Amino acid sequence: MRGRLLRPLAPVDAVAALTGVGVEAARELLSLGACYLGEEIKVRCPPAAASARLVAALLSKHAAHHLIMASTDAPAPQGQDGKVVWRRFIHPHPHRATSEDPAGPPLPAGALLRAHPRPKRFPACHQTHWPSRLLHLDPDLAVVNKPADLPCMPHESNAVEEVAACASRGLAGLLAAAGGEPGSLEVGHRLDQW
């Protein structure tokens, strides 16, 4: 679902209004990374050149913003002649992000918001006993036997239930004891599907 805010709203209220879900469900969508903020990029050139320019602009302008998707073929928002770059929006404290108790500034009027009201869930993240899946651990490397049905990379509608994030949470104590930094795991190699 996509929409443009007509007035400033707290993130949870904006997601609830866009998706039609309650505030608790909107908090969960924000905490899962199922929401994106869009930024319009004006493109006034032929389609082939537009794609090359868009990619160049994205690489230079958005490298530090965890770029997720650039829509080069989707229609622009109503009344616009540009393209939209979407980046994942995970609110740091979704439980405090309502208009009654905002955790930061509200999203401004005119902001583009996209949300997945039914994100794909991966129960293996929470059902796995991660210490039993640990094959090797030292300060620089952790090797885990990934459970089936848990993705190696964040899903478009769920950024937190993926192997590195789940293993980081499940192995936090062991990582700290081994001299590693809890929460710093990243996928370096996988023997699995994307």
Per the model's pLDDT, the better-predicted residue between 40 and 45 turns out to be 40
Closest CA to 163 of 144, 182, 176, 135: 144
Q: What is the pLDDT of residue 170?
A: 92
Structure tokens at 30: 């924000």
Q: What is the pLDDT of residue 75?
A: 46
Each residue of 125-144: pLDDT tens digit? 999 999 999 999 888 888 99
CA–CA separation, 90 vs 187, rounded Å? 20
Angle at 96 between CA 92 and CA 98, to 5 degrees: 115
Structure tokens at 28: 């969960």
Across the chain, mean pLDDT equals: 78
Q: What is the pLDDT of residue 190?
A: 72
Written as one string, the DSSP assignment of 58-102 is HHHHSGGGTEEEEESSSPPSTT--EEEEEEE---S-GGG-SSSS-
Residue 70 reports pLDDT greater than 60: no
CA–CA separation, 156 vs 150, rounded Å? 14
Q: Backbone phi, then psi, for 64, in 5-degree steps?
A: -90, 5
- Average pLDDT estimate for 141-157: 91
Written as one string, the DSSP assignment of 94-154 is GGG-SSSS-SSPPBPTT-EEEE-SS----THHHH--HHHHEEEEETTEEEE-PPTT--SS-
CA–CA separation, 33 vs 10, rounded Å? 16
% pLDDT > 70, the chain: 70
Each residue of 78-100: pLDDT tens digit? 444 568 899 998 766 655 555 56
- Average pLDDT estimate for 67-80: 38
